[in-house]
Amino acid sequence: MEKRVFGVILTVLGIAGLILAAYQFVQGNTASNHSIRAVVMYGVLGLLFFVAGIGLIRSTRDLSNRG
């Protein structure tokens, strides 16, 4: 059960990172090197957290269904 909760937390953090990357991409100045780095960093970390969270949720079996 704890792994599944951790998976949900990672998934939510991943979604937040991807949203932040999209926001930085839309609002960022293309002449600045810092905004490009921020978009890449938030995007990669968000995607990594999202995939890891989904993997934890899918691979952890639910023990509460046992009777």
What is the per-residue pLDDT for 29?
66
- Overall number of domains in the chain: 1
Strand ranges (E), the chain: none
pLDDT at residue 59 tops 70: yes
Q: For the residues 32-58, what does the mean pLDDT come to?
A: 89
- Is 13 a member of any domain? yes
Tell me 65's DSSP state: G
- Is 67 a member of any domain? no
Q: What percent of the chain has pLDDT over 70?
A: 82
User: Range of 53's domain?
Assistant: 2-61
Q: Which of 13, 43, 46, 6 is nearest to 28 (CA)?
A: 43
8 Å CB contact between 15 and 50: yes
Residue partners of 39: CB distance under 8 A and separation at least 6 = 21, 24, 25, 28
pLDDT at residue 67 tops 60: no
